[in-house]
């Protein structure tokens, strides 16, 4: 990704909690004119090795006062799953209890 400029692009970085400082900085600095970047991640589910700071957590702190950057925080009330998920979970519970 180094050396690239993403212009006229809509880019989504998912699972950003698992980026490092260098990876997040590299991603954020690829933004070209007319680009929109969306970054998603759950700071509560970091899978990085111990003592490696999450690029997402760091970016949230570093960029919180930056004009032009918006941040939206969701909680468990915002999680909505397909109506079939409850049926799938119950079906698996039935099978697991039979074994």
| 41-79 residues labelled b (16+ CB within 10 A) or e (exposed) | beeeebeeeeeeebbbbebbeeeeeeeeeeeeeeeeeee
* Residue 47, strand partner residues: none
Q: Which two structure tokens, joined as six digits, stand for 91?
A: 């079906």
- At 53-83, the pLDDT tens digits run 999 999 999 999 999 999 999 877 777 788 8
At 98, is the pLDDT very low, low, confident or very high (cuts 50, 70, 90)?
Answer: confident
pLDDT tens-digit map of 17-55:
999 999 999 999 999 999 999 999 999 889 999 999 999
* Residue 32, pLDDT score: 95
Instruction: Tell me which DSSP letter residue 67 carries.
Output: T
The pLDDT value recorded for residue 21 is: 97
Question: How sure is the predictor about 97, in pLDDT bands with cuts at 50, 70 and 90?
Answer: confident
Q: What is the pTM of this model?
A: 0.76
pLDDT for the residue numbered 81: 84
56: phi then psi, degrees, rounded to nearest 5: -70, -50
């Amino acid at each position: 990704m180094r050396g690239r400029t993403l212009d006229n692009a809509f880019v989504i970085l998912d699972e950003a909690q698992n980026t490092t400082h260098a990876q997040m900085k590299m991603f954020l600095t690829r933004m070209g004119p007319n680009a929109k970047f969306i970054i998603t991640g759950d700071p509560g589910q970091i899978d990085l090795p111990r003592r490696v700071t999450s690029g997402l957590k760091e970016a949230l702190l570093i960029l919180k006062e930056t004009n032009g950057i918006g941040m939206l925080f969701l909680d468990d009330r915002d999680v909505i799953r397909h109506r079939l998920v409850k049926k799938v979970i119950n079906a698996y519970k039935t099978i697991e209890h039979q074994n």
